[in-house]
Chain A
Amino acid sequence: EDKVVQSPLSLVVHEGDTVTLNCSYEVTNFRSLLWYKQEKKAPTFLFMLTSSGIEKKSGRLSSILDKKELFSILNITATQTGDSAVYLCALAWEYGNKLVFGAGTILRVKS
Chain B
Amino acid sequence: NAGVMQNPRHLVRRRGQEARLRCSPMKGHSHVYWYRQLPEEGLKFMVYLQKENIIDESGMPKERFSAEFPKEGPSILRIQQVVRGDSAAYFCASSYQGQGAGYTFGSGTRLTVV
Q: Which residues of A contact B (CB under 8 A)?
A: 4, 6, 31-32, 34, 36, 41-45, 48, 88, 90, 92, 96-104
Contact = CB atoms under 8 A, between A and B. Distances in A.
B45 A99 contact: yes
A45 B4 CA distance: 14
- Tell me whether chain A's interface is mostly helix, strand or loop, or mixed: strand
Contacts of B72: none
Contacts of A34: 100-101
Interface of B: 4, 31, 33, 35, 40-45, 48, 55-56, 58-59, 91, 95, 98-101, 103-108
Nearest to B9: A41
Contacts of B41: 103
B105 A42 contact: yes
Contacts of B98: 96-97
Nearest to A106: B40
A105 B7 CA distance: 27
A45 B103 contact: yes
B65 to A, nearest CB: 16
A66 B36 CA distance: 29
A101 B31 contact: no
B4 A42 contact: yes
A67 B31 CA distance: 29
Contacts of B40: 103
A90 B100 contact: yes
A102 B99 contact: no
Given A103-B41, A103-B42, A97 B48 contact: yes
